[in-house]
Chain A
Amino acid sequence: MGFIGLTSALLALSTSFDVPIKSAITIDRHLLEPGARRVAMSDPPHVMVGGRSQTCNGCHQIFASAGAAGAPRAYHESVQLAHGLNDRCVNCHDPKDRERLTLRDGSTIPFSQTPQLCAQCHGTLYRDWQRGTHGKTLGSWVSHSAEQRRLNCNECHDPHSPRYEPYAPLPAPNTLRMGEQQHADHRESGALVSPLRRWLHQPQTGEHQ
């Protein structure tokens, strides 16, 4: 009986060591939704004018606009053209039918076939995109299956400003083995990044004999 009492007393009194356990930061679900980065222009394209959906030709039948590059625009001011040397609307948009796009040979294509237009200059990327080595594929990994959908160029890149926009990164890891969040000064120098470096690091001498 005494032994049992002693055991239970020891069990009750023995201290467990505390490990500082950190919680993960909960990520908002909408940040992790898979899908296209941007909504591409529909085909045929529509724009909102005065709160109502209008077709392009609805206006452009009246206003045959084709200003010089960099000239002030009376409409479409929100379009920021930053596409390198390609700085004219009518390089891509058909001047006669605004609901179609124009190729270099003068033929026109609907908005849904945007990759053909981009392919004229970005040949290697178009080739890679066709192979599936550039761009994003959704749905299924089974090649050429019905569920597989490869996003078009303009579902990731804004055609008027095709540079891929930077992101705010999601939070850094907080796990035990990855250690404490290091101070920015240390991180920049690179010298204290790895805990091993503290011992492995040898001071750099200017010159060797």
Chain B
Amino acid sequence: MTGVRIWDGPSLPARVTANALNRRSFLRVGAAALGGMAALAAALSPLRELGSDQVPNLEQFLQKHYKQMTPAELEEALERIRAKVEKRFEVRPHLRDLKPMEGVEFGYALNLSRCIGCRKCVHACVAENNQSRTPEIQYIRVIEMPRGTLDVEQGTHHYDRPLVPDAEHFYLPVQCHQCANPPCVKVCPVEATWQEKDGVTVIDYDWCIGCRYCEAACPYWARRFNFAQPKLPKDQLNPNMSYLSNRPREMGVVEKCHFCLHRTREGRMPACAEVCPTGARKFGNLLDPHSEVSEILRTKRIFILKEEVGTLPRFFYYFDERYPNSLDPEAIAIADDLRAKEGAAYGCLPGSNGPDTEIIAAVTPQWWDGRTA
């Protein structure tokens, strides 16, 4: 053994002995180690920003997927979350796991003729669902669009008028459509999101790895990602929560509208529908023929957003008919014109009862004559 051949690579070969360490090999090893350490430090640097309560303990780490947990394990997980929420917000939350109701499939209908764009739904949703306030996360967005178009590129989220509605615009609120054929569920690599029996697509926030595939797959931009640790003032926490809906989320998980299932699975209205001042938002059971949404689907002109992508949303938009609802001569002229052109009785769908034309016909001529004379 006359000399040691140094292997020309990034790491030190095992056969190098201490006495063979010359200046050149020392520098090589040192540079490689420095580079490796720098890379490691860079990779670990986000961990510095984590608080002690953000690093999962062993129990949390070993927590199973929601669907795989036994009732006892789920109760353990719920208790763990309760303790965590209590520590962070100093409020004991009313946290439970609500299962879908039998014979219920939720549907939502939104009357674009009545929506005035007041954004109450947006903020009621934030107050109800414990979304992050800093940075701001909202499930519902309201787009103001010029009348006579459905081109969202001409719309804006940032309208700021002293009063709404504006006569030249209409308002299109968009949130999770709870699709029957959800692309977000298909792309999730870890099955952290799935569709429940009542049609609500939910997320196990403890199972989500934050890859954001679902966010990219959603054609309605309904999903939100917690880029930063969500911040929520203690006094603004809503303690009424469930595992799959509005329990506080962590950084790095995706969240979205879940039809307020901690309310709706107990028979209550979602927060957005309850707060809507005009009654433009209608929520109910699609399987119940007498529910408000079923009545709307049967009698109104419905459309869904991006029908062509085949997502089969359970969120429907509808309009009211163009009928003279105020004895307004102009409105009646429009309706008469429509009847002449389209043969429609004041724009009503076939099968609906139609307006009380007898009364309108009996009242209007004499009143108009009286007015114009």
Contacts and interface: CB of A to CB of B under 8 A. Distances in A.
Contacts of B371: 85
A11 interface: yes
Contact of A127 (B273, B277, B284, B353): B353
Contacts, number: 228
Contact of B320 (A119, A134, A139): A134
Interface residue tally of chain B, by bracket? 35 or more
A170 B282 contact: no
Interface string B154-171: 111111111111000000
Given A26-B133, A141-B264, A141-B269, A124 B279 contact: no
Query: DSSP class of A's interface residues: helix, strand, loop or mixed?
Result: loop
A167 B299 contact: no
A143 B228 contact: no
A170 B228 CA distance: 25
Interface string A13-38: 01010010111101101011110010
Contact of B141 (A23, A123, A173): A173
Given A124-B321, A175-B136, A187-B158, A10 B299 contact: no
B308 interface: no
Contacts of B44: 11
Nearest to B128: A32
Nearest to A151: B279
A124 B325 contact: yes
Contact of A182 (B37, B134, B158): B158
A125 interface: yes
B291 interface: yes
Interface hub of A21, A133, A187 (most chain B Cβ within 10 A) = A133
Nearest to A144: B290
B154 A136 contact: no
Given A84-B327, A172-B158, A7 B120 contact: no
Interface string B306-333: 0000000000001011010111100000
A132 B298 CA distance: 12
Contact of B158 (A11, A22, A31, A181): A181
Contacts of A104: 359
Interface string B273-286: 11111110011110
A169 B278 CA distance: 13
A160 to B, nearest CB: 14
A135 B344 CA distance: 24
B119 interface: yes
A42 interface: no
Contacts of A172: 119, 157-160
A169 B161 contact: yes
Contact of B122 (A16, A151, A167, A170): A170
B49 A16 contact: yes
Contact of B162 (A33, A131, A168): A168
Nearest to B364: A85
Given A170-B118, A187-B156, A175 B360 contact: no
B328 to A, nearest CB: 6
Interface stretch (A43-51, A54-62, A189-197): A189-197
B208 to A, nearest CB: 18
Interface string B91-131: 00000000000000000000100101111101110110000
Nearest to B160: A172
A204 interface: no
Given A23-B134, A133-B292, A178-B158, A167 B279 contact: no
B97 to A, nearest CB: 21
Nearest to A184: B160
Contact of A141 (B116, B127, B284, B359): B284
Given A131-B292, A136-B276, A173-B136, A3 B267 contact: no
A107 to B, nearest CB: 15
B65 interface: no
Contact of B359 (A26, A121, A131): A121
B300 interface: yes
Contacts of B355: 123-124
Contacts of A123: 355-357, 359-360
Contact of B123 (A14, A32, A124, A135): A32
B33 interface: yes
A86 to B, nearest CB: 7
A32 B159 contact: no
Nearest to B358: A123
10 contacts: A10-B37, A27-B126, A121-B360, A124-B355, A125-B325, A132-B296, A133-B295, A174-B136, A175-B138, A181-B158
Given A140-B268, A167-B118, A176-B135, 13 more contacts: A11-B48, A31-B123, A34-B274, A122-B325, A127-B353, A131-B295, A134-B111, A136-B279, A137-B269, A137-B292, A141-B283, A170-B118, A173-B122
Interface of B: 33-34, 37-38, 40-42, 44-46, 48-49, 111, 114, 116-120, 122-124, 126-127, 133-138, 141, 146, 153-165, 227-228, 233, 236, 264, 267-269, 271, 273-279, 282-285, 288, 290-292, 295-296, 299-300, 318, 320-321, 323, 325-328, 346, 348, 352-357, 359-360, 363, 367-368, 371
* 7 tightest A-B CB contacts, nearest first: A123-B356, A136-B279, A132-B292, A10-B41, A24-B136, A34-B274, A166-B163
